[in-house]
Amino acid sequence: MRIGQGYDVHAFGEGDAIVIGGVTIPFSRGLVAHSDGDVLIHALCDALLGAAALGDIGQHFPDTDSAYRGIDSRELLRHVQALIADQGFTLVNADMTLIAQAPKMSPHILAMRENLSADLNCGTEQLNIKATTTEKLGFEGRGEGIAAQVVVLLDKVA
Ligand SMILES: Nc1ccn([C@@H]2O[C@H](COP(=O)(O)O)[C@@H](O)[C@H]2O)c(=O)n1
Ligand SMILES: C[C@@]1(CO)OP(=O)(O)OP(=O)(O)OC[C@H]1O
C-alpha cells in the first residue's frame, strides 16, 4: 500500500465560470491558470504521483509548455492514471477536500465523482469529495481563490 497527498491553489480572476472536477460551474469569477484551472484535479494528480513516487504535476506538465495552455485537466488526470497503472498501482480510494467560501460545491459533487471515476477507471464509491468554507477567514474566506487537498491510497497489483 502507498499513501499520497496533494495540495493546490488557484486564484480567482476574470471570468464567469470555474471548472472543478471536470464540472463547469457558473460563477462571477474565473480561476487564473495556465490550464483550465481545475484545482481539484491538480491536487488529485499530485496525490497520485506522490503515492507512486513519480514527482509532481509541474514536472510532467510544465506551465511553460504551450501544449498545456487551456488544457482540460481531465486529460492530465488520464495521463497520470496511465503512469501509475504502468507502475502496477491501482487506486484503493481518494478523499478530497475543496476549500472555498463560494461557489456552493455540493450540487456538483456527484457529477465530479462521476467524471473522476471515468478517468481513473474506478467506482464512484472509491472517491469522496467534500467542501468547506473557512468561515470567511484566510485567502479562501476572503474569496481570493480556491484550495484543494487530496489523500489517496494505492495498492500494488501482484
Ligand atoms: N464552497 C462550499 C463550501 C461548503 N459547502 C457545503 O456546506 C457545508 C457547510 O460548510 P461550512 O464551511 O460552513 O462547514 C459543507 O459541509 C459542504 O457540504 C459547499 O457545498 N461548498
Ligand atoms: C496544470 C499546469 C500545466 O498547464 O498549469 P496550471 O494550470 O497553472 O496549474 P498548476 O497547479 O499551477 O500546475 C501544474 C501545471 O504545470
Please give the pLDDT value at position 157: 82
Cell numbers at residue 100, please?
A: 472555498
Cα–ligand 2 centroid distance for 84 (angstroms): 19
Residue pLDDT, tens place only, 42-61: 999 999 999 999 999 999 99
Q: Against a cut of 0.95, is the pTM above it?
A: yes
Q: Give the residue from 102, 90, 88 showing the smallest Cα distance to 143.
A: 102
Cis peptide before 107 (omega within 30 of 0): no
Cβ–ligand 2 contact at 77 (below 6 Å): no
Cβ–ligand 1 contact at 69 (below 6 Å): no
Give the containing element (helix H, strand E) for 63: none
CATH architecture of the region 2-156: 2-Layer Sandwich (3.30)
Residue pLDDT, tens place only, 85-131: 999 999 999 999 999 999 999 999 999 999 999 999 999 999 999 99
ipTM over 0.95: no
Give the containing element (helix H, strand E) for 95: strand 89-99
Cα–ligand 1 centroid distance for 158 (angstroms): 40
Cβ–ligand 2 contact at 37 (below 6 Å): yes
pLDDT of 158 > 90? The answer is no
Largest CA distance in the chain: 48
